[in-house]
Amino acid sequence: MPAGLVISAHAADFVWRAGGAIALHAAQGWRMVVVCLSLGERGESAKLWREPGMTLERVKANRRAEAEAAAHVLGAELRLMEHGDYPMRVPDDTILALADAIRELQPSFILSHAPGDPWNFDHELTRRVAQEAQIISQARGHNPGLAVAGPTPVLMYEPHQTEWAGWRPDVYLDIDAVFETKRRAFEQMGAQEWLWDYWTRAAAQRGNQAWLNGGRKIVHAEAYQRLFPQVATTLG
């Protein structure tokens, strides 16, 4: 069974940015695993914090429940870590554990955040963590008993304000077959309702651009930047 791995900063990032890819491959029988380094409890839960008497534990519980519901809709396994947010800090043990997870899963691709994001250092850090884990997963001297991973492609999903994040889309992924599922996953995220329409429109913009570049009608798409070059056996 082929597999894909998503390494997301906060509990909801994977839904908005990579929900289509997750649902698409899951629907084709892939094992899709999503790791969130943080619940996003401090910086990405503004709506919850506006409620009177809110506590950190209630925010976390809410975020956890929403993320699990969304992952369930998309067909993904969810692994929630708690490395905090605003600021997130990730110890080396987590990087090594992610390297082992890559080896165990042997994913065909890893999805994570953009190269930079001036509004969100947690996102940039998560991409670095994902990248370093991918590098270590190939080192034969790291846990030499385990089978090493190959050079897994890493694709970086769309940040909120793309042009300031040093991000450029290399690949438009047609997600028309699963867009309704993706939208349903959005609707599990009650704490960030304002993003439902934002990312629905984003999918439509990328769909239009995919149409222009691909020459056949596509309504909704997701966009990804590659972190490494591709290897191909044909240019067609």
In the window 41-60, what residues touch a second copy (CB under 8 A)? 41-43, 45-46, 49-50, 54, 56, 59
By CB under 8 A, tell whether 62 contacts a second copy: no
Interacting positions 157-196 with a second copy (CB under 8 A) = 160-164, 167-174, 194
Nearer to a second copy, 56 or 61 (CB): 56
Instruction: Supply the minimum distance, in Å, between the C-beta of residue 81 and a second copy.
Output: 17
Instruction: Supply the minimum distance, in Å, between the C-beta of residue 7 and a second copy.
Output: 14
Site string for a second copy, 116-155 (x = CB under 8 A): --xxxx------x--xx--xx-xxxxx-x-----xx-x-x
Tell me, rounded to whole angstroms, the distance of Cα 216 from its chain centroid.
Answer: 27
Q: Tokens 């080396």 identify what position?
A: 92
CA atoms within 13 A on the CB side of 208: 5
Which of 82, 89, 146, 187 is in the footprint of a second copy by CB under 8 A? 89
Residue 197 CB partners (closer than 8 Å, separation 6+): none
Residue 196 CB partners (closer than 8 Å, separation 6+): 183, 186, 187, 189
User: Which candidate, 196, 167, 217, places its Cα nearest to that of 12?
Assistant: 196
